[in-house]
Amino acid sequence: MGWQGGCNPDAFGFRSMGRATALLIGAFCLAGAPGCASLARSATSGMAANISAAILDQDDPATVRDGAPAYLLMLDGLIAGDPQNEELLLAGARLYGAYASSFAGDPLRGKRLSERARGYGQRALCAHRADLCQAVERPLPELRAALTSMGPADLPAVYGFATASATWIQANAGDWRAVADLPKVEALIGRVVELDDAHAGGTAHLYLGVLQTQRPASLGGQPEQGRAHFERAIELSGGRDLMAKVLFARYYARLVFDRPLHDRLLGEVVQADPRSPGLTLSNTLAQEEAQKLLGDADEYF
């Protein structure tokens, strides 16, 4: 994708600062100025965030499928050069997880990509708070006790690890050792919702909604609680997050055999404008999934 390492100012995303400022910082880098490393670290994190945003705003999934691997490799290189950079690690967890769940193509590749996503998420959590990092390896009651000390500053690291772990569990659904971690993931995401249910646009509610609608109530599931989470996620996004409606239809409406709700939600998705800052790619994929679900609804219901 044309990025280069070293202390080239453009390689660290300084274009937006103006050419004079970029050249000045570049000169400091070349001169070995003491502050260069921190400046480069900050700008590198900014570049990762900017490119991640560009991917999320892409309306052609095929472009992302074909082009994102180059960015993932670049992230690997940036992390290798700054292995304790929490923002880079979270970017790696987020993008590897998204690619694994949407574009991996085959199960084995999905497992590998989700494993890297979870690894980056765990490293980010360890870099942020070693005590919480250690707590996720302990029994569930001890993890819950540790989570009581969480504050708003801990939300990105905890949520990043939890969502990457959820993707990893999904990719390894046939492995009971992975599935055994689901209660811990639910505890982590539940604590995020307790502290700020609008964090990350309310997507924590989507994860809880899916987790609670895996089984009917007669088998220990919590479908009505799941429904409440889906509805809250839609509310928090102002209806802009089309994937929330698709997941609501797929996991709740199908579970309780509510055909009118199912078709209404998916019809709204198909008719909506997918373009929305930070959601365009997800919305485009949601429309594709909605068409598939509507297409086989007669066979399901």
DSSP string, 98-143: HHHHHH--SHHHHHHHHHHHHHHHHHHHHHH-HHHHHHTTS-HHHH
pLDDT attached to residue 165 = 97
Q: How many distinct helices (H) and strands (E) make up the chain?
A: 16, 0
The CA-based angle 177-110-138, given to 5 degrees, is 30
Residue 175 in contact with residue 131, Cβ under 8 Å?
A: no
Residue 287 in contact with residue 242, Cβ under 8 Å?
A: yes
Please tell me the pTM assigned to this model: 0.83
Q: Is 296 helix (H, G, I), strand (E, B) or coil?
A: coil
The CA-based angle 33-38-44, given to 5 degrees, is 120
pLDDT attached to residue 21 = 36
pLDDT attached to residue 50 = 77
pLDDT attached to residue 41 = 58
- Average pLDDT for runs of 10 along the chain of length 301: 34 35 37 46 64 86 93 92 93 93 92 97 98 97 98 97 96 91 96 96 95 90 96 97 97 97 98 95 97 97 96
User: Distance between CA 281 and CA 103 in Å, rounded?
Assistant: 12
pLDDT attached to residue 54 = 85
User: Distance between CA 201 and CA 217 in Å, rounded?
Assistant: 28
In one-letter notation, the amino acid at residue 146 is A
pLDDT attached to residue 126 = 98
Q: In the chain, what are the domains? A: 41-191 (1.25.40.920), 209-301 (no CATH)
